[in-house]
Amino acid sequence: MSILSIILTILLPPLPVALHKGLGGAFWLCLLLTLIGWLPGVVYAFYTLSNPSPNSI
């Protein structure tokens, strides 16, 4: 994970998820968690970006 990715994850959690995973379910869940509360969105974004999915390109 790059420094830019970490900064974006802290400031706007759905953005790096969308850049790395696309506009699929991970993005929408991160957006929902961010709207509910900033911290759950950040935690989920870090979790999503740190665990590579087997279907990733």
pLDDT at 38: 93
pLDDT at 54: 63
**Residue 56, C-beta contacts closer than 8 angstroms, at least 6 positions apart:** 20, 21
Whether the model clears a pTM of 0.75, i.e. scores above it, the answer is yes
Q: Are 49 and 6 in contact (CB under 8 A)?
A: no
Give the three-class secondary structure for 41: helix
Segment-wise mean pLDDT, segments of 10 residues, the chain, 57 residues:
90 94 93 95 94 64
How far apart CA 42 and CA 55 sit, in angstroms, is 23
How far apart CA 36 and CA 20 sit, in angstroms, is 22
pLDDT at 55: 58
For the chain, the domains span: 7-50
